[in-house]
Amino acid sequence: MIDYTTEYAQAIVDGKIIAGKKTIQACARHLKNLTDSKDSDYPYFFDVKKANRVIEFIEMLPNPDDGKPLKLVNFQKFIVGSLFGWKNKETGFRRFKKAVISMGRKQGKSLVVSGIALYMLLYEEIPKYDRQIYCAANTRQQAKVVYNMIVNFLKQLRSKSKIIKKATSVLKSEIRQDGSGSYIMPLSSDYNSLDGLNVLLGIIDEQSRSTDYGLVDVLETSQGQQSQALLMIISTVSEKVNAWFCTQEYPYVTDILSGKITNESYFCVWYEQDNEAEIADEANWIKSNPILFDEKVKEKLLPNIRAKWQEATDKDNQPPALIKYFNMWQQESSESYIKIKDWKDTEIEIEPDLMNKDVYIGMDLARVGDLSAVSWIVPLEDENKFFIDSHAFVGTRGGLQNKIDRDKIPYDRLANKGLVTLSEAETGNIDDQQIIDFVYQLVDKYQFNVKNICFDRYSANNIINNLVEDFEMVDVAQGYATLSEPTKQFRKYVQDRNIIHTSNQLLEIAVNNAVLKQTNDAVMIDKAMYRNKIDPLAAGMDAWTRAVLHDFKHSNIADNDFYINEFTF
């Protein structure tokens, strides 16, 4: 018996098929788990027969284009086989409860999940009755993309099989298997009245653009009583780099595939380009477009991608093409300050030793009790680099949930991670004392030698007055003359990997939100977009106006005399 799943995984790991880093890691995970399964203590095993059964069912479905049986490409077999082949040794139930799958456009994602949905409607044994399957998305129109494909498959099956025709009904807004009371329905993100669902399979399409985790949460919580529940999230990336799919799910997938985190019930495979430079060689396009392995598909798809990429290059407008065809995150604005990949590339896993080091602290303090931030920059003498981190303070006036919904930022989750402090004031406004206490606690924790605390002159005077006795305070004028050169240099230091940071979601959101405004050759970060929060970066930029002047003992960083001569505070 051919093991399609393992055959593909082995070919990827052996380098017989060109693949990106995350794809290789996903396949290596499968191979490692096969070895693990030989150990009696490992709770899972791989059932090749079951994996192949579902693959063969989908390949029996008539292609909507020509009516001939479908032919799955190797990567599609890997996905299907992984989800259905891995089982719990004790119960026999499926191992994976959640699957996150990402790749470029037109790769047959919808085809795969449609086949899975139809199989589970017709042949799933547990539960025997009331198998609820939902095709969900941000809009009902998008949700019906997968749903309509399932309808087309079923209609053709019904025309060929009297048994299936008798057992199923295709209604206006649902598909039913009449004998078991099971059904498939489309579902949009208008999910507020969905309490009471008991979902077996939830399919969420194109989630990278969603700013709301609610749809995922509703479906996941509805699966609590299911022994073999499965939630599938399929998507190409987008320009929504501050949405949860980029800021939460993508890092989580990265950590699982790298082995940093273990989650045995979470399947993930991510097809993307490893960097923009490799796009110059078309042979690498299969990394984000795995369907190019199929020569017939390649004949049609490759010229189309080639033409779109050439047009994007000619127009100097590559980001949309990088998103659609190469599955690479790109910011929404062409004026974005720092590219998401540049920021990601400077991220380190473990905070460096900061004890007893110099520090430059910056503060961006709210005048209306909304959001304040304290950021700190630490020169790392041994590396001639700078480390940056940040903490924010969130006002809760009007209700925390209202603020979360308005800003599209999960402040409650960030508070649980220790990245923000929620106001404890009765008014809900930011509590100045919390900020003052935080600064002293930060300095005490690391025994910092505080060189300067830099602030916007329009900041809250109460905080400044409480700190001035113990620290050298620097009033940073918020104009081009003061901020233009530091703004340029901060970006250059990031690009050159001379500024590093650990994972800090709110700081990352601020970096992703930041856009430049320009007058002649002078630039600065635009604070005009009130709702697009950049406070942690703004605080960091205040600190950077002084940190960039730091005199490293063994420096190979460019001379900063220019700034000393030009800066006025």
3-state secondary structure of 128: coil
- What percent of the chain shows pLDDT beyond 70? 93
**pLDDT higher for 308 or 561?**
308
Q: CA–CA separation, 29 vs 390, rounded Å?
A: 34
pLDDT per residue as tens digits for the range 521-538 = 888 888 655 456 889 999
Cβ(537)–Cβ(525) below 8 Å: yes
Q: 362 near 392, Cβ under 8 Å?
A: no
The string of pLDDT tens digits covering residues 57-82 is 999 998 877 778 889 999 999 999 99
Report, as an integer, the average pLDDT of 39-46.
96
User: Which of 2-16, 427-441, 446-460 tops mean pLDDT?
Assistant: 2-16
Query: Highest-confidence range of 10-19, 148-157, 172-181, 235-244, by mean pLDDT?
Result: 10-19
pLDDT tens column, 80-89 = 999 999 999 9
Q: Which of 106, 113, 375, 347 is nearest to 230 (CA)?
A: 113
Distance CA 476, CA 57 (A): 67
**Which of 266-275, 342-351, 415-424 tops mean pLDDT?**
266-275
What's the predicted TM-score (pTM) here?
Answer: 0.79
Taking every pair of Cα atoms in the chain, the longest distance, rounded to a whole number of angstroms, is 86
| Three-class secondary structure assignment of 245-296 | HHHHHHHHHHHHHHCCCCCCCEEEEECCCCCCHHHHCHHHHHHCCHHHHCHH
Mean pLDDT of the chain: 88
Q: What digits encode the pLDDT tens for the residues 100-140?
A: 999 999 998 989 999 999 999 999 888 888 899 999 887 77
Residue with tokens 């520090």: 359
Residue 430: per-residue pLDDT: 86
Section 168-196 average pLDDT = 80
CB atoms within 10 A of CB 84: 25
pLDDT at site 50 = 96
Identify the pLDDT of residue 518: 81
The dihedral built from the CA positions of residue 237, 7, 51 and 88, taken in this order, carries a sign that is negative
Mean pLDDT of 173-185: 89
Is pLDDT above 60 for 487? yes
Residues in the chain: 569
Is the Cα dihedral 499, 502, 507, 512 positive or negative?
Answer: positive
Lowest model confidence (mean pLDDT) among 35-49, 343-357, 386-400, 402-416: 402-416
Helices and strands: H and E segment counts in the chain: 21, 19
Q: Is the pLDDT of residue 560 over 70?
A: no
The predicted pLDDT at position 369 comes to 62
Res. 179 pLDDT band, cuts 50 70 90: confident
pLDDT for 566 equals: 44
Per-residue pLDDT tens over the stretch 311-363: 999 988 888 999 999 999 987 666 789 988 899 889 998 999 999 999 999 99
What is residue 225's predicted lDDT score, i.e. its pLDDT?
Answer: 83
pLDDT of 270 higher than 90: yes
Which domains does the chain carry?
4-270 (3.40.50.300), 342-566 (3.30.420.240)
- In which element (H, E) is residue 350 found? none
pLDDT at res. 459: 67
Residue 557 has pLDDT above 60, yes or no: no
pLDDT of residue 563: 44
How does residue 30 score in pLDDT terms, banded at 50, 70 and 90? Answer: very high
Q: What is the pLDDT of residues 208-247, one digit of tens each?
A: 777 667 788 888 887 888 888 999 999 999 888 888 888 8
